[in-house]
Amino acid sequence: MSMERRKFIKSLTAITANAGVNIMNRNKVYVIQDIPGTREGRPKINIIGATEFGELKVLLPENAQIILSAGPLVFKLRKALKDYTSEDYLLLTGDPAIIGVACSIVSDITNGKYKLLKWDKQERRYYPIDIDLYQKMSDES
């Protein structure tokens, strides 16, 4: 993790603490891939609103890619997501192939139950979406 990123997370922690938000024992928001431009200090999008749902934890740098074999990336994501619980959230950023792998790993960890954060452009805020892959559908649908 870059020094700038560490400073950003430290300042974000201080801001939330000053706002009376206890980030200890909070859920985590796993940001799958860092936002483009973050390394230069000019991220293309602002994801601070996601801190409403928990502490941000970036899993991969913005330039991460699946090249030839997904094995090394799967290993890295499994390690980064080992503490994921069904109360945490995924923020789906970055390469769609990596997003698919991350969702698969989380689904495996939680038996198909996990949460996503979806950005609403009109309301300009994140909304939580609960995923339950094995939910039984009623006959009425």
pTM of the model: 0.77
Predicted local confidence at residue 129, as pLDDT: 97
CATH code, residues 24-132: 3.40.50
Predicted local confidence at residue 5, as pLDDT: 61
Predicted local confidence at residue 52, as pLDDT: 95
Q: Give residue 137's pLDDT band: very low, low, confident or very high (50, 70, 90).
A: confident
Collect contacts of 115-118 with beta carbons under 8 A, ≥24 apart. 115/86, 115/87, 115/88, 115/89, 115/90, 116/89, 116/90, 116/91, 116/92, 117/29, 117/50, 117/53, 117/89, 117/90, 117/91, 117/92
Question: Higher pLDDT residue, 48 or 140?
Answer: 48
Which residue has tokens 């483009």? Answer: 36
pLDDT in tens, 33-87: 999 888 888 888 899 999 999 999 999 999 888 888 889 899 999 999 999 999 9
Task: Give domain limits for the chain.
Answer: 24-132
